[in-house]
Amino acid sequence: MLFSLIAMILFWSLSCKTLVVKVPPPSDNKASFPILELPIPQNNAHANYLGISGPGNFKITQIKSPVLIIEIFSRNCAHCQMATPLAHRLYLAIQARPDLKEKIKIIGIGANNDTNEVDLFRTSYNVPFPLFPDPHDAIIKKLGVVILPTFIGLKNNGDGTMEKFLFQPGAFRDANSFLAEILERAK
């Protein structure tokens, strides 16, 4: 009985370590970013939000915005589910500012999520921005993401390349503070 109790406490303490992962502060080093190709959203409002149209795929450099924020999430990730209201508030804070709503766009990429799982996440949590599936983690592996959620800030250089200016493993605490950080780092 004592052994079972000790084993249970040990298991619990080890599982809790994933909740208190120490993450180094985001790097100030700006780096080029791999150009991702994603399916054009079937939802016309989402396609219009990104400024793209037509069938097939698009490259993220085609998004009509100088700054792009990517949220990496998973439908089955409890931390991602808890961060969704923060991402929603960030979206609303950007949309509320006429000087920013065309300059900063947000998308989400569902780690190990197929189209149905991404759609379920979108409807369950009322996500207002476009979400894309990554069913085999090809994108996540390319980006080196290991903690969910992760937020990545990209600057569109206008020459077919993107520059990463922010890599935030884990959720942010406040949408307005995070928006201020995005604006400062994207300069």
Choose among 78, 82, 135, 80: nearest CA to 111: 135
Lowest mean pLDDT among 6-20, 54-68, 143-157, 166-180: 6-20
Separation CA 30–CA 62 (nearest Å)? 20
pLDDT level of residue 4 (50, 70, 90 thresholds): very low
Confidence at residue 40, expressed as pLDDT on a 0 to 100 scale? 96
pLDDT digits (tens, 9 = 90+) for 112-161: 999 999 999 999 999 999 999 999 999 999 999 999 999 999 999 989 89
Confidence at residue 141, expressed as pLDDT on a 0 to 100 scale? 93
pTM of the model: 0.83
The yes-or-no verdict on residue 19 having pLDDT over 50 is: no
Confidence at residue 32, expressed as pLDDT on a 0 to 100 scale? 77
The yes-or-no verdict on residue 21 having pLDDT over 70 is: no
Confidence at residue 164, expressed as pLDDT on a 0 to 100 scale? 95
Separation CA 98–CA 124 (nearest Å)? 28
pLDDT digits (tens, 9 = 90+) for 48-105: 999 999 899 999 999 999 999 999 999 999 999 999 999 999 999 999 999 999 999 9
Confidence at residue 30, expressed as pLDDT on a 0 to 100 scale? 61
More confident site: 180 or 33: 180
Q: Report all structural domains of the chain as residue ranges with CATH numbers, in order of start.
A: 31-185 (3.40.30.10)
CB atoms within 10 A of CB 91: 21
